A and B are shown apart, each in its own frame.
Chain A
Amino acid sequence: MEPIRKHEGLVFPLNRSNVDTDQIIPKQFLKRIERQGFGQFLFYNWRFDDNDQPRNDFSMNKEQYQGATVLVAGENFGCGSSREHAPWALQDYGFLVIIAPSFADIFYNNCSKNGILPIKLEEDEVQQLMAKAENPGYRLTADLEEQKVYDSEGFEASFDITPYMREMLLNGWDEISVTLTLDEKIADFEASRS
């Protein structure tokens, strides 16, 4: 997985709470056996109409948000199904940083295993960002080393992340390799129980 230290990018505001993984990537697209190529299906039912044409009423389709890499959303983002296709789709589309007041546990974990930085900010901070991102060209920087989010207009907020997840994202670890260094301990544990 690619490390992520600091990222600056265009912000897309999705002002909805409880966005579930069925919305992020609808089930008809879960049948592929690859990890790549899910970006085209991101938010599919919101983005496209019954004839697969982009919908005008979904703001991600607006010109001003093309190329967005930072997603700002409402509470409980990523709830529902455990499908890792959700972070795969977000990442494949281009989102590398997701900011919300809260995330569903499994989704939050899944992000960190794919090099997406999930950031929890206070509700009012998220609302400020939502309002700012209405303006075309609004960009944000997320700095994982400093655990800070800021823009060029003076907004600044810090965020918490566990040291383990921080290290994993900063280094782009392959978690399995890390665990396999403990192979003997796992074997000892198995032996002790049988």
Chain B
Amino acid sequence: MARARTIVDKIWADHVVHTEKDKPDLLYIDLHLVHEVTSPQAFEGLRMKNRRVRRPERTFATMDHNVPTIARHFISDPVSKKQMETLYDNCQEFGINLADINHPDQGIVHVIGPELGLTQPGKTIVCGDSHTSTHGAFGALAFGIGTSEVEHVLATQSIWQARPKTMNVKVNGRLAPSVTAKDLILAIIGKFGVRFGTGHILEYTGEAIRDLSMEERMTICNMSIEAGARAGLISPDETTIDYIRGRRHAPEGEAFEEAADYWRSLATDPGAEYDAVVEIDADEVEPQVTWGINPGMCLPVSGSVPSPQDAETDADREEIERALEYMGLEAGQPISSVPIQHVFIGSCTNSRLSDLERAAKVVEGRHVHEGVRALVVPGSQTVKQQAEEKGLDKIFTAAGFEWREAGCSMCLAMNDDIVPPGERCASTSNRNFEGRQGNGARTHLVAPEMAAAAAVEGHFVDVRSYFSTPAG
């Protein structure tokens, strides 16, 4: 009988172009996603050496990081404007498909890939962006690369990769009602730390993962990089296949059924071995809030900010001290007592239709707390349109939220959507690093419904108290 293999074994074997002793493997890349920030120097490199893009049709570009989410055609910063124009010119010159700022498909690169059906199981997918791990939700091998590698993939449609180790992240049991995929991934990183995935590809397995929708699976895989992992993925199943069926770039008719059979065959075989395993019980996960300056510094919403004295090592103690100082928090303070001034619902972690629907359910008939500025930034123009068809924009604006155009926005504050120094933001994004949402800005990562509830209350609350139906 053939050896039991993981999905990583299978995808890897299907993509090795060349192997040599003492060298990484040369892997073929099926899909290369491109955005305006990490690509200009790569195209410039091609031009300098007179090189072409090997497979323009396997390359797909959009503008997301810099784009204004309000007054779409007024780009106040000339340098941002130049960067977008440069991408436009590069795509023209090299014959690459581009969803630019005027295009109905425009959106965050990790939202539109799946939406358009470009993201499929078994593909190797790269992008000059660390959250490329998002596409792993489909059982694709997807990882972020630097600009030199972007240039390399443009020129050769391949990449040198040492084979990472594999880790099974086993999620036992099921999530309690109103506890979300975001809470689960924060709890995983909180439990095992921001380095536990280094050098590994994480495969999320277990009943709680099988229960998740594709959009929720994307939230999980998205944050694999925050655990230090090279990539994160989930074996494809019927949920995956149903999601892809009928999408624009998906195969059609008989070709789809054939593809679906191949996709099913990619799932990790029973008994396949991983280099490492970690386990977590889903039933114990509560809604999470981060208190510090990396995503591992998180707490259940019922918890209190840790004290430097609880640290096990000197380095940890210093890190907690620095985090408390930056975040303006006191050791022992209940996290729910912290007042917030901004709410951001958006980013490639949580800006899909179901995220907005769940947040809308919380704010419907309520109003944003005085002194709170709240933004909803859909992940793509398609999400925006679908949300508007369902009337979500009306619910949000009636509650005092701003309803914006698609882009990365306040996730990294490269456009005008910035949190001012010293102010606090409940954010559905993935990074609470110092200065991420603006110089001196204090970020608390949460799920969309938690962000929505924080907008209403002006501080963090257990969103489960909003849903009257008792659990069980």
Binding site for B on A (CB under 8 A): 15-18, 20, 22-23, 26-28, 30-35, 45, 50, 74-76, 79-84, 87, 102, 104-106, 109-110, 113-114, 162-164, 175-176, 179-180, 182-183, 185-186, 189-190
Smallest Cβ-Cβ distance to A112: which chain B residue: B148
A33 contacts which of B40, B152, B414 (Cβ < 8 Å)? B40
Cα distance, A35 to B45, chains bound together (Å): 10
Cα of A110 to Cα of B42 in the assembled complex, Å: 13
| Residue B199, interface by CB 8 Å | yes
Closest partner residue, chain A, to B127 (CB atom): A82
Report, nearest first, the 10 A-B pairs whose CB atoms are least far apart.
A33-B40, A113-B148, A110-B146, A84-B146, A84-B147, A82-B144, A31-B79, A163-B22, A82-B130, A22-B433
Assembled-state Cα–Cα distance A176/B251 (Å): 32
Measured in the bound complex, the distance between the Cα atoms of B83 and A183 in whole Å is 31
Q: How far is the CB of A91 from chain B (nearest CB, A)?
A: 12
B residues within 8 A CB of A15? 318
Give chain A nearest CB distance to B34 CB in angstroms.
Answer: 13
Q: How far is the CA of A33 from the CA of B413 in the complex (A)?
A: 18
Q: Which residues in window 114-160 of B have CB below 8 A to A?
A: 128-130, 144-149, 151-152, 155-158, 160
B interface with A by C-beta (< 8 Å): 17-18, 22-24, 26, 28, 37-38, 40-41, 44, 49, 51, 54-55, 65-66, 77, 79-80, 82-83, 86, 128-130, 144-149, 151-152, 155-158, 160, 162, 164, 194-195, 198-199, 225, 228, 230, 294, 315, 318-319, 322, 412-414, 421, 431, 433-436, 439-440
Q: Which residues of B contact A82 (CB under 8 A)?
A: 38, 128-130, 144-146
Contact B149 A33 (CB under 8 A): no
Complex Cα distance, B315 from A75, in Å, reads 10
A residues less than 8 Å from B18 (CB atoms): 182, 185
Tell whether A179 pairs with B146 under 8 Å between CB atoms, given A45-B434, A45-B439, A84-B38. Answer: no
Task: Please determine whether B198 and A23 come into contact, CB atoms closer than 8 angstroms.
Answer: no
Contacting residue for A26 out of B157, B195, B435, CB 8 A: B435
Expressed in whole angstroms, the Cα–Cα distance for A109 and B80 within the complex equals 27
Q: Are A35 and B41 in contact (CB under 8 A)?
A: yes
Q: Are A176 and B434 in contact (CB under 8 A)?
A: no
Q: In the complex the two chains form, is A102's CB within 8 Å of B195's CB? A: yes
Is B17 a contact of A185 with CB atoms below 8 Å?
Answer: yes
Asked whether B434 lies within 8 Å of A23 as measured between CB atoms, the reply is yes
Q: Which residues of A contact B319 (CB under 8 A)?
A: 16-18
Q: How far is the CB of B409 from chain A (nearest CB, A)?
A: 12
Known: A33-B41, A176-B156. 4 other contacts (CB 8 A): A20-B433, A84-B147, A179-B152, A190-B28
Report Cα–Cα, A189/B157, bound state, in Å: 11
A33 touches B228 (CB 8 A): no
Judge whether B79 and A32 touch: CB under 8 Å: yes
Complex-state Cα separation, A164 to B162, whole angstroms? 10
Tell me, in angstroms, the Cα distance from A182 to B195 when the chains sit together: 35
Q: Known contacts being A33-B40, A179-B158, is A104 close to B433, with CB within 8 Å?
A: no
Which A residues are CB-close (under 8 A) to B23? 163-164
CA distance A87 to B41 in the complex (A): 14
- The listed residue with most B CB atoms (<10 A of its CB), out of A16, A22, A30, is A30
Contacts of B17 in A (CB 8 A): 182, 185-186, 189
The chain A residue sitting closest to B156, CB to CB, is: A179
Cβ of A35: which chain B residues have Cβ within 8 Å of it?
Answer: 41, 44
Q: B55: which A residues are within 8 A, CB to CB?
A: 190
Given contacts A22-B434, A164-B22, A185-B17, contact A33 B412 (CB under 8 A): no
Contact present for B294 and A18 (CB under 8 Å) = yes
Whether A27 contacts B79 by the Cβ 8 Å rule is no
Residues of chain B with a CB closer than 8 A to A183's CB: 156
Find out whether the CB atom of A80 lies under 8 angstroms from the CB atom of B431.
Answer: yes
**What residue in chain B is nearest A183 (Cβ atoms)?**
B156
Q: Considering the chains assembled together, what is the distance between the CA atoms of A145 and B55 in angstroms?
A: 38
